[in-house]
């Protein structure tokens, strides 16, 4: 059995998936899966049971908020740590956080990062959540 960690990236923007993929590849030892919207992300999470999910909030069809709740409420996926990676605060002009998600949705993600995120911050967050030592 491989020690490789599996990370699912859920984002409707190809550039965002490429950015996160590049950061994860720099870490090494990570198998990367991706999905382009909330519905596909939930389905992929149930299929591959990743060790970590990195998810955008604003996506067509089904937002990251809806996908987050679905993942949290499903017995097979509820244990998976989730990083919300979003530019929602910049777009709507209102500061939003993981604590706000807990207040409004009853659940808080393990991390809430604003786009654009520095690669080092994303790497540290991923390493911490996956229990990987720093470079």
This prediction has a pTM of 0.91
Whether the predicted pLDDT of 114 surpasses 80: yes
- Greater confidence, 55 or 95? 55
Summary count for the chain: helices (H), strands (E): 6, 5
DSSP reduced 3-state for 127: helix
DSSP reduced 3-state for 50: coil
Structural fold of domain 5-129: Rossmann fold (3.40.50)
List Cβ neighbours of 34 (8 Å cut-off, separation of 6 or more): 8, 9, 10, 11, 17, 21, 44
Q: What is the structure's pLDDT at 60?
A: 86
Domain boundaries, the chain: 5-129
The per-residue pLDDT for range 48-81, each reduced to its tens digit, is 999 999 999 989 888 999 999 999 999 999 999 9
Mean pLDDT of 99-111: 75
Helix (H) or strand (E) holding 107: none
| CA–CA gap between residue 59 and residue 84 (Å, rounded) | 12
- CA neighbor of 4 nearest in space, from 20, 18, 25, 21: 25
């Amino acid at each position: 059995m491989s020690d490789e960690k599996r990370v699912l990236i859920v984002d409707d923007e190809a550039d965002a998936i490429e950015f996160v993929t590049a950061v994860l590849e720099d870490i090494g030892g990570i198998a990367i899966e991706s999905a382009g919207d909330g519905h596909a992300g939930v389905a992929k999470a149930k299929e591959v049971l990743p060790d970590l999910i990195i998810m955008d909030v604003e996506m067509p069809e089904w937002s990251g908020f809806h996908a987050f709740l679905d993942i949290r409420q499903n017995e097979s996926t509820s244990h998976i740590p989730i990083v919300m990676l979003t530019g929602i605060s910049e777009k709507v002009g209102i500061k939003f956080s993981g604590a706000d998600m807990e207040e409004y949705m009853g659940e808080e993600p393990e991390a809430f990062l604003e786009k654009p995120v520095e690669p080092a911050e994303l790497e540290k967050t991923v390493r911490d959540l996956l229990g990987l030592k720093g470079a």
